[in-house]
Amino acid sequence: MASSGSGPRRVTIDDVARSAGVSRQTVSRALNDKDEIGVSTKQRVLDAALALGYRPSRFARGLVRQDTISVGLVIPDLLNPFFTEVAAAALDAARAREWHVVVYDTGDRVEEERGTLEVIASQVDAVVGYLSLPEDEIDKLTRGLPVVLIDREHRTERFSSIRIEGEEGVHAAIRHLVEAGHRRIGMLDHAERSKPSIRHHWFDAAMSACGLDAGAVSRADQSVEGGEAALRELLAAHPDVTAVFTFNDIIAIGALRAARRLGREVPRDLAVIGFDGLRLGSLVEPPLTTVALDTRGLGALAVEQAARLLTRSEPLSSDELAVGAELRLRESA
């Protein structure tokens, strides 16, 4: 049983102290730029540290300083511009509090989400984001951590969630279409979950509020290509449709592209209204009319609620945990 041990042992402050011929505290002082230390001593310590390749343990440091907070931000796909915006907002809100944000991209895979949650508990003080696992499983994996869900209901006491209140905005969108003379309005819903989305319900409600029959619906993957395919499908089945409302802006952008390729000019031959209010929407041609969400609010609220949960101060009420949406008129409708 020789002395080889398991891998190169970590270089600790004691190694540096020994090598520089001083005590630990002196090393600590040198490294943390404290005053109470001689210049030459300091230099000697710094040299020794460098020579040994010493790096302080952030855990030991954090343990004694107890002054940093990190939140884990879990998102399905950072490349999806919607999540990018939410993430950016969350980073902003966290920075304002001097919090650190550990970002996890699950790539929309449940196993990854599970893996992330498994490992997250020992790395952060709170979890915020888009989770798709069942609540009891989340509960088990995050035992003890505050959890703030975005755009998802929750029943478990421990969790909080940020609601999206889009009904108003969707109404406004449909009303706008109707006022422009549209009667046959379709929807491109998302395809991933089994049941129709809440946004679909809002659409239905808005349609009947405007005295229209339920509109035709196609289901689209959450991608530009998905939107493209879905619009083609919808128009094939219902050629008389003159306007579409989509589950989100990404799908709407796909629809825009499909329309162009089908020779339908937007908005003249087909009006398109998206949902989300992505910046991206203003770059495409024609710029996308959309039901714009307060994405910044989404990220900020989530972080704010995490903060309250963490400090045991009065958490935000259910009423406050919501962001609104309003119709943003551009050129596609």
Among 6, 63, 155, 239, binds DNA (CB under 7 A): 63
Minimum distance from residue 47 beta carbon to DNA (Å): 14
> Which token pair is 119?
């490992």
Among 17, 93, 131, 145, binds a second copy (CB under 8 A): 145
Among 47, 91, 316, 324, binds a second copy (CB under 8 A): 91
Of 101 and 217, the one with the shorter C-beta distance to a second copy is 101
Q: Is 60 in the site for DNA (CB under 7 A)?
A: yes
Minimum distance from residue 295 beta carbon to a second copy (Å): 10
**Partner from DNA, a second copy, none binding residue 104, C-beta < 5-8 Å depending on class:** a second copy
Omega within 30 of 0 (cis) for the link into 239: no
Closest C-alpha to 124, from 107, 156, 94, 101: 101
In the region spanning residues 289 to 328, those forming contacts with a second copy, defined by CB under 8 A, are 312
Minimum distance from residue 206 beta carbon to a second copy (Å): 28
In the region spanning residues 204 to 263, those forming contacts with a second copy, defined by CB under 8 A, are 224, 253, 257, 260
Minimum distance from residue 136 beta carbon to DNA (Å): 22
* b (16+ CB within 10 A) / e for 246-285: bbbbbbbbbbbbbbeeeebebbeebbbbbbbbbebbeebe
Contacts with DNA, residue ranges (CB under 7 A): 9-10, 12-14, 21-29, 31-32, 35-38, 41-42, 54-57, 59-61, 63-66
Contacts with a second copy, residue ranges (CB under 8 A): 8, 10, 31, 49-50, 53-63, 65-66, 68, 70, 78-79, 81, 84-85, 87-88, 91-92, 95, 98, 100-105, 112, 119, 121-125, 143-145, 224, 253, 257, 260, 279-280, 283-285, 312
